[in-house]
Amino acid sequence: MSDTSSQHRILVVGAGYVGLTTAACFAHLGHDVICADIDRAKVASLSAGVVPIREAELDRLVAEGIAERRLRFVISAETVAATCDFAFICVPTPLRADGETELSYLLAALDSVASRLQPGSVVVTKSTVPVGTAPKIAAALGRTDVALASNPEFLREGSAVHDFLAPDRIVIGADDTSVARRVAALYADVEAPVILSDPTSAETVKYAANAFLAAKVSFVNALAAVCEAVGADVDTVLAGVGTDHRIGSAYLQPGPGWGGSCLPKDTRALVSVAHDAGYVFDLLEGVITVNEQQLERVAAKVARMVTDGPSGRSDPGADEVAQRSSDLDGVTVAVLGLTFKAGTDDLRGSPALRVAERLSGRGARLVAYDPALADLDNRPDIAAQLPPTLTVSDSPYDALAGADVAVVLTEWPEFADLDWERAASVMDAARIVDARNLLDPTRLRAAGFVYEGLGRR
């Protein structure tokens, strides 16, 4: 982007993953940033430079911003809104039980700043909102002298700072192009294509991107099941497919399913938005169905490993798997990984946790290890999300000790480097289901394991 950068006063409402990353990165880019949150304990912790989430480089940028007096944290956005040129709304927009997106936090954030903003300032929506929300935001704001823009985030947990400072694109939607360019100027020192659009198109870009990524993962997981059925090797197949530049190799990796805080919510929201507009999005509904099947397929693999041994080419289909009654009463399962992906401590929408819950429902005793969950005594927010039947160990070998079978559910690199001979010696039975295809099958079998991955010969 070629534009002349100047310092602006930016208010960021919300200090979650998106808000905190946005605040810290804008401060790093030279802006004067105030981050507001209603959680007093969080504001106190952040003001002291303590970042409550695991995110690469975020703690460093927060400390840098505080030390250079470009970043500070406050409890009430109302008290500082009048001093800011831009107000970025970065509050949660969770999915309700009826499939609709909950906008109450967003509307409350708007209400808190609406009367305090200076004329000529810009309110920027970074929270993910349903397509067509822009008019509701304008109505809630109730100010014709304050401009509005949509600037959806495309931050991957575990690499959010990198994705903000080195993004694939910057999307800004506004009815007034001059407003969009004002927002774009905040990113003047960021090298990335800038896409200026109307607000509705900007909102749609976010949903479309996540829906396509979900479709890609569901396709790969379904393909792994096909490979098992016909005797092909999914690693070889995907290597051949991924070299096609029209397809690419990113997201071509089998796993227990897609999850996290965004993809489950955004795919369902897009299905709902399409339905309300009169279009039945059968393709995306199929993507969601395949993902649910994959969670059950992985749980069934673990059950079969105990009852029947590795399935090989005789792996049953998802429908048959769902109907099979596999009793895991008295069976101890070592669960390696609980977070929804490596590099984060986030359990929201974690496919690993959902598979673990299915195993628990079959009667299994679960003992887990995750590198990000080593200090649960000081993280009641995380502990509350874990099934009561699950015990978290301080080391992978403690989790494996006495287990009848192990399952890899999160792709933490250190799992590949474990001493698998030691692991085999402490387990009651050296059996493992690698639901991330992270491990070397030859090495595991040499260590004495009965090994099964996803779609591997």
Active site residues: 262
Nearest-angstrom CA–CA distance, 384 and 29: 36
- Residue appearing with tokens 């198109």: 201
Positive or negative, the CA dihedral 291, 294, 296, 298 is negative
Is 121 within 8 Å of 87 (Cβ atoms)?
yes
- Residue appearing with tokens 């905040």: 186
Nearest-angstrom CA–CA distance, 280 and 121: 39
> 45-74 in b/e burial notation, b at 16+ Cβ within 10 A?
ebbeeebbbbbebbbebbebbbeeebbbbb
